[in-house]
Structure 1
Amino acid sequence: MSTTLFSLAFGVGTQNRQGAWLEVFYALPLLHPAAELVAAVAPLIGYSGGNQAIAIDTDRAAELAVALKGIDPAQSALLTRLAESHKPLVATLLAEDAALTSTPEAYLKLHLLSHRLVRPHGQNLAGIFPLLPNVAWTSQGAVDLGELPARQLEARLKGELLEVFSVDKFPKMTDYVVPSGVRIADSARIRLGAYIGEGTTVMHEGFVNFNAGTEGPGMIEGRVSAGVFVGKGSDLGGGCSTMGTLSGGGNIVISVGEGCLIGANAGIGIPLGDRNTVESGLYVTAGTKVNLLDEQGRLVKVVKARELAGQPDLLFRRNSQSGAVECKTHKSAIELNEALHAHN
């Protein structure tokens, strides 16, 4: 058995009455754990290789705590606490970054993102949706939807209220991870699996999906969808300001460079280079036809927006008279056209 793993974590979670996992909380997930740690853990939990989520009891957690005391004090301390749990425990070991096969595996990879151990699209998340059960996220934690009516009645009979905050596959990130150095106005709008970099502020209407996020510092006032990673900013004291929609999808990462501004109700479907501006209300997709203008505002060439992907110092706007999408640059558009021609 190899002692080289992609990831390892000890978690506590929630199961329904049939013993199916609803969610898992990993306080200290590890990326590429030390071989010595893996060698100590494997025989105690019966791990023989591959990607596995292995249920453990409190006695086994206590044994692991002792075994890891001189190897990894932080993991040992965590296991000491887990040994006191009244909830089900799991040890999840990923030998390789492969497609997901269980709910504990899926939650581990979401934690790796929100703990900033991997960046968006930095790991294999294939098969994640079927493995994330749609559950009720309540004031008493995750509840299986089939068990919700009985739980609500039980609470009422005790004079209590079981409040349902959402019904979704993804919980909010801050119930699992609160990254350092961030401001989040409405935590319900940040899903577990979001990567929120140091110095990021997410305003009340900001939304960050799983497998998306910001390098920071930055200001998010709009939607950052899956596959989007917003780079460092330099706008007014720190931020790349996004007020519109940044849309990714499939295996495509939509990156946003430093110092960009995406206006209110605007959106992009292409990566942006540094210091790009997209005016309010404009949505630029890869196939959008763009009139490339020189510094005097004269038309040089009509290109598809994908040809401008990643270029710095661009302003995307819509002509108020013709409705055409236009692009100006601090450089001469002729120079940009030549650069694009040379690249192609």
Structure 2
Amino acid sequence: MKKNLMLVGVCASVLFYCSCSGKKEEEKEEKTNYTATSPLTLDTSFTKEYVSQIRSVRNIEIRAQEKGFLQNIYVDEGQNVKAGQLLFKIMPKMYEAEVLKAQAEVKASEIELANTKLLADKNVVAPNELAMAKAKLAQAKAEESLAKLHLSFTEIRAPFDGKIDRLPKKLGSLIDEGELLTTLSDNSQMFAYFNVSEPEYLNFQQSKSKNNTNVSLILANGETLGSKGEVETIEGEFDSETGNIAFRAKFPNPNQLLRHGETGKVQMVIPLKNALIIPQKATYELQDKTYVFVIDSKGVAKSKEIKIGGELPDLYVVASGLQQGEKIVFDGVQKVKDDEKINFKFIEPKQALSQLQLKAE
């Protein structure tokens, strides 16, 4: 009985020793499982998205130029119209009467001038009276032209090809001079306005080429517009409050998919010089902030917040928080604890990037 108990005790001791040895071996293996690398400095570029406001190349308000009742509406909301097409007519009766009156005055002045000229030729009247008759005729013709102009204002036509917006007034409405009747948008091409920071603006200008003036447009449903756009112009001044400057890109719109007032995201290639690049897998996020583990000279891993300036496939461009030459944990980030002393194997930055599934261009 005693021999059996001793045998059981010995076996238990052996198992406990093996278990402890195995655990220590695993811990040792876990400690040596880390790899580290450093940021890589290089010239590159990345694609960044900017919230944009989409505007028609031409968008104007159509307003009444004369007062009166809205007699006819020849278009409907959302309708495409051609330049010169009749859109509205404001009751023209009064203006037609003014034209007839002016025409009658012109006729009377012409007769008066003819009679005066006849008398002047016979030296019956002074030359000044002939001059006054001519001036009176000129004045009558001017009044006629003005009356015709007012009459023409009762017919409102499209100044260019475009699409009609909402019609706030209905037939029979009393229209005041200057009152809004609708808006007209030329959607043949569209502008996208977006704001760019000062550093990105400088990088864009210093390495300006056809490649980085071409931009894409992501629509509100997440789809990409089939046609590429081009950055055409940049605003003259920076916004003193935001530090940004407005860019304007023009996009073709052959299918009339884009409308005035839409929103989207412009994707533009931002060139970077001496950019600090690290693998995304070397980072972790906490409360919307990005961190890495920096390894000090004693092998202690310390958590450090960094700011991301851009994103490439599998890579981050570091804007601040990290210096060239600093060692960071590459593999095993999720296992490391802050202020933990670790054993690690250092691999060169280029070798670390070559292990990623995707490569930066």
Structure with a larger share of its residues in strand: 2
Do the structures match in fold with TM over 0.5? Answer: no
The higher radius of gyration belongs to 2
Q: Which has the higher contact order (CA 8 A, sep 6+)?
A: 2
Structure with a larger share of its residues in helix: 2
TM-score by length of 1: 0.24
